[in-house]
Amino acid sequence: MLLKVFFVVKFFIVTVNGMLDNNVCTKWDSYYFMPLSKNCYHDPDFSSNTPEIIERHLGKGTVENYTVTTEDGYILTAFRIVRKNPKGVIVLGHPLAVDGIIWVAEGNASLAFTLWRLGYEVWLTNNRGTYYSEEHVNLTVNNIKYWDFSYHELGVYDLPVFTEKISETSNSTELIYVSHSTGSTAATIYASLLPEHAKKHYKVSIMMAPPVFMKHSTGISRSLCTYIFCPLSPILRFLGIGGLFTKNSLSKALTKILVIMPSKRWFVFLDLFFSGITPGQVDPKLFNLIFSLIPRGLSLKVMYHFCQAYFSWDFLMWDYGKKENLRKYNSTKPPRYPLQKIQIPIHFITSKNDLIATSQDSDTLWNALPDVAKIYGRTDISGLNHVDFFVGKDRYSLAYDHVLDLLRKM
């Protein structure tokens, strides 16, 4: 009798602990009852690092990490998802305020895993200031000088050094670059300022939702620039704050509270307001999982550079002000990035529902590209906003399948 009671009690404890360990739900309302709802479950990826997620889904020994040092002293990490005799090598460039983990944050449906299963070797880059790239030869993330970089440096320093390491390690000079948002901005800068370097190493650059020209942006960029970053910039500089959401920061700790809050619909409302109206598109199980992994390092100067792009209606280098511009550029106005010098094919996917990387601004980008960059055309879609490229229920049918189709045709 006592033995039966023991097993019943043990079964009850294990069951309750399992329910209390739930962290993802398949329905929005279930988040209010997450510990007990049958629509909720525990996802081990929720609190895992990138190598752990990769090996959990693809097996032991499928990931390798490599460290590179940029010309200006930043120590960066890239992860290689190993594939014997690959049909090609794909480099994934991540958006703002996150690192390469975003490409494996959707479980088995992650684009990185899909590409790997199709036979490609896949590399995840992690730009300066993000979790796996917080080191520097002289500075720390607590020093405001560490954060003295915009998206310009991501294109002229980070991407080239990653490219050289990946090309050397994989023995390939026909790399394929696939990116989203800021990763696409950096790729555009890289291809325009270092066209010979890009031509030597890359076969094509596939860019999803590229915020290059931002004249017509009406989403989060306008709101953050107008009401938050520009007004707060002098105060943050005075306080010595150049970056947020670093690995051990208070700002990152505070975001963890939002993950356990039951009302996720408020976040979805903000997403729709800032990124684009696509009701019903956000997948509840992906939303909380990805929200648990980001943000992961944000340079405020990168945001300021986007603000400059928004207010200038052009794609210009960093604006230091008239006096310093004259010294740096021999002009009171910063120069435009020379898009006409790009020598590699660029294919971009833009959604009509994206309020950040708009279709109108993509037209401007397309018209500025030389003919050699247009050989694979472009793809215009509807139904996804800027964030839906990762959390949208139809991200494959509307966006990723276009990437896969282009890869098959090459």
**Which residues are identified as catalytic?**
181, 354, 386
Q: What span, in angstroms and rounded, lies between the C-alpha atoms of 376 and 348?
A: 9
Q: Helix (H, G, I), strand (E, B), or coil: what is residue 368?
A: helix
Under a CB-based contact definition with an 8 Å cutoff, are residues 51 and 63 in contact? yes
Q: Which of 187, 231, 217, 180 is nearest to 313 (CA)?
A: 217
Distance CA 354, CA 389 (A): 10
Q: Are strands 74-81 and 202-208 parallel, antiparallel or unpaired?
A: unpaired
Query: Which residues, 6+ apart, have CB-to-CB distance to 389 below 8 Å?
Result: 180, 181, 208, 209, 395, 399
Torsion of CA 196, 202, 208, 210, to 10 degrees: -10
The residue assigned the tokens 């990168």 is 302
Q: Decide if 305 contacts 318 (C-beta within 8 A).
A: yes
Residue 135 — φ and ψ, nearest 5°? Answer: -90, 160
Residue 294 and residue 105: Cα distance in Å, rounded? Answer: 10
